[in-house]
Structure 1
Amino acid sequence: MSADDVMGSPLAFSGQRLDWRDLPRAVRTRIATLAGAQVTAEISATTGFSPGFAAVLELSDGRGVFVKAVSAEQNPASPVLARQEIVVGAALPPQVPAPRLLWSDDDGEWVLLGFEVAHGRAPETPWRPADLALVLDALSVVADAAPLPGHRLPRTDEALAQDFTGWRALRRWPDAERAAAAERSGELGAWALTHLDALVRWEQDAMHVCAGDALVHGDLRADNIVIDHEHAKVAIVDWPHASIGAPWLDLAFLLPSVSMQGGGDPQRHFWAHPLSDGVPSASLRAALAGLAGYFAFGSLQPAPIGIPNLRRFQRAQAEAALRWLRELA
């Protein structure tokens, strides 16, 4: 994969979206009822991997609302994630830089969510230093925010327990298949194959180091961020993977994607950030091993329904995480 593949716009990796007219008439009617006005125009979201409907809807009374509408027909996992995002929306305190969930609906088939509109644009890629500075500052706000009382957010170590098993899964593959997969990834694949036992050990430590008491978004990358330059504000969107864990995890999990999209050295960015204070290098190594294994193993699976570009993006993230991990080995 060339640098051009991963340093361009997040649009290159977006999923397949539905348009307003693709939605069943009953779903459109329900959205208008929930929004409190007729829909007069739509501006479709062009980034992200969700294969359902996601757009800013202009309403007849002059308001706007960002709406997501998903069903299992687009992707079996999409309604599950949407339902979890409803849970998260009820847990986020007002200081978190995220659009507020205004309403939701679930008829067992279609899950609908209406949010405040986040004004701005996704970060330009290659990343601009000014954009990255705003985003890195926002991570401290997220880490310092306490979820609202009675929240039902999972613990990060429990939420990732099944995901952060990629290296163990690869070790169970037949030698020939594992070697062929490593060869396709060139130098980094060869390094991972040589260090597979160490990667497994580090990955097994990841659950311990992910534990904590801070709010964690869990899926930060350029297409989940909106920057309003006029007001120097950042909005972080798409929260279905939110959990409670170590305060530095979002920083560590974001930086490989920043690096792969031209944002500079993740090692330098991590240790220069206040959230890295007191983090043992071995803890960072363990978390990155879990993340890299998740992306590496995921990238070798068939493309999920409605998201044909996901595996290519995961491969690019795996390679970026491995480059950083190699520095910590």
Structure 2
Amino acid sequence: MPYEKVPARVRAWVDRSLGSSVVSASTQQGGFSPGVAARLVAASGRRAFVKAVGTELNPDTPTLFRNEIAAMQGLAAHSLPHTPFLYDVYDDGDWVALLLEDVDGYLPPHPWHPADAARVLDALAELTDSLQPSPWADAPLAAVRSEAFLSRWDLVIADGLAVPAWVAGREQELAELARTGLDALAKGTSLAHWDLRADNIILTEERVVFIDWAHAARAASWADSVILHAEMRASVELPELPDDEGITGFLAGIAGGQWWGSSRPAPPGLPTLREWQRKAALVHLDWLRERLT
């Protein structure tokens, strides 16, 4: 949605927060969520990034934005170079918005370049150290909030979904393995981004900035590394992650969640989600097969 179509009350809040009226708004395309994502320039020359959504665009996205607000407020106390600065937030019960630092950089191209991947993995290691223990004391527990998603092998079995040849006959084994992964996640005390992809990362000459913290949750310290390795796997050579049953179980849980999800009708306003889920499921299944061999 173009910034100009945001309700006037939200745009008035932006002007107040910036201290002068917005004179330029550049809409940023991509991602799954409906709503506004725009780089702003105010009459004073001040720059910012705004993301905003209302319930009429998608009933669930405002809740995700509220989760991101809580996460960003927890991160703000640490002034971390790998997260954007939060200027202000807005919530009138219908529309929810965040006003953030406008990071002048680029999204890592996909397929990943080795140099970009190395920078991002190093930055993630630094960030993970900083987020242990979680700076957001009331962060939801990933293993609880995502239990249904990570337990969907049961639904794959119940629905009789077709699966890749190597999985056929092993669905119950993978369901048990996914439960092992959930148990390991539940013991974690780190704050995980939980949604790391190339389009949630901005690279500048000096910084690697992880954006869009709407899914942040408390989890095992390796959770984000697993998620990011899956994102990079098809592009670059990666260091092996530990031979840990919790990690393997987490992979199984993600694979089952994405595979079952890809079989469902697309939710309102998110037409690209199901094809993305199918591709993601295949990546995780391929990786899982290697770890089980």
2:213 to 225, 239, 246: 239
Q: Per-residue CA shift, 1:287-315, capped at 9, x if unaligned?
A: 10011111111111111111111111111
Aligned-pair CA distance for 1:25: 2.3
Compared CA separation, residues 114 and 206, structure 1 to 2 (3 A): same
Q: Does 1:208 align with 2:193?
A: no
Bigger drift between 125-134 and 145-154 goes to: 145-154
Counterpart of 1:120 in structure 2 is 105
**SS of alignment partner, residue 202 of structure 2:** strand
Q: Which runs of 5+ in 1 are unaligned?
A: 1-17, 183-188
Q: Does 1:84 align with 2:67?
A: yes
Bigger drift between 303-312 and 24-33 goes to: 24-33
**SS of alignment partner, residue 149 of structure 2:** coil
Tell me if structure 1 keeps the 8 A contact 2:152–2:260. Answer: yes
1:186-197 equivalences under 5 Å are 189-197=164-172
1: CA distance, partners of 2:64 / 2:173? 33
Tell me if structure 1 keeps the 8 A contact 2:70–2:136. Answer: no
2: CA distance, partners of 1:168 / 1:67? 40
Tell me if structure 2 keeps the 8 A contact 1:96–1:145. Answer: no
Aligned-pair CA distance for 1:49: 1.3
1: CA distance, partners of 2:218 / 2:290? 28
Bigger drift between 243-252 and 279-288 goes to: 279-288
Compared CA separation, residues 168 and 226, structure 1 to 2 (3 A): same
Q: Per-residue CA shift, 1:113-136, capped at 9, x if unaligned?
A: 101112211001211001001110
Q: Does 1:158 align with 2:144?
A: yes
Bigger drift between 31-40 and 235-244 goes to: 31-40
Tell me if structure 2 keeps the 8 A contact 1:216–1:242. Answer: yes
Tell me if structure 1 keeps the 8 A contact 2:71–2:213. Answer: yes
Tell me if structure 2 keeps the 8 A contact 1:295–1:315. Answer: yes
Tell me if structure 2 keeps the 8 A contact 1:96–1:141. Answer: no
Q: Does 1:264 align with 2:236?
A: yes
1: CA distance, partners of 2:158 / 2:200? 34
Q: Per-residue CA shift, 1:261-284, capped at 9, x if unaligned?
A: x4235xxx242xxxx4xx443222
1:130 to 106, 115, 126: 115
Aligned-pair CA distance for 1:55: 0.8
Compared CA separation, residues 190 and 48, structure 1 to 2 (3 A): same
Counterpart of 1:145 in structure 2 is 130
Judging by fraction of residues, say which structure has more helix. Answer: 1
**SS of alignment partner, residue 90 of structure 2:** strand
Aligned-pair CA distance for 1:237: 0.2
Bigger drift between 25-34 and 209-218 goes to: 25-34
Compared CA separation, residues 300 and 148, structure 1 to 2 (3 A): closer
Counterpart of 1:219 in structure 2 is 195
Counterpart of 1:42 in structure 2 is 25
Tell me if structure 2 keeps the 8 A contact 1:164–1:291. Answer: yes
Aligned-pair CA distance for 1:64: 0.7
Bigger drift between 143-152 and 302-311 goes to: 143-152
Counterpart of 1:64 in structure 2 is 47
Tell me if structure 2 keeps the 8 A contact 1:252–1:270. Answer: no
**1:244 partner amino acid:** R
**SS of alignment partner, residue 190 of structure 1:** coil
Tell me if structure 2 keeps the 8 A contact 1:164–1:293. Answer: yes
Q: Per-residue CA shift, 1:71-90, capped at 9, x if unaligned?
A: 11111111000011111011
The share of aligned pairs that are identical, in percent, is: 35
Tell me if structure 1 keeps the 8 A contact 2:141–2:217. Answer: yes
- What RMSD over aligned residues (CA atoms) do the two structures have, in Å? 1.7
TM-score, with length taken from structure 1: 0.83
Counterpart of 2:224 in structure 1 is 250
Tell me if structure 2 keeps the 8 A contact 1:142–1:215. Answer: no
Counterpart of 1:51 in structure 2 is 34
2: CA distance, partners of 1:149 / 1:316? 33
1:170-185 equivalences under 5 Å are 170-173=156-159, 175=160, 178-179=161-162, 182=163
2: CA distance, partners of 1:90 / 1:24? 25
**1:289 partner amino acid:** A
Q: Which runs of 5+ in 2 are unaligned?
A: none
Between the two proteins, the alignment pairs up a number of residues equal to 288
Q: Per-residue CA shift, 1:206-240, capped at 9, x if unaligned?
A: 11121312221100011100011x22x21000001
Counterpart of 1:298 in structure 2 is 261
1:316 to 267, 279, 283: 279
**SS of alignment partner, residue 195 of structure 2:** coil
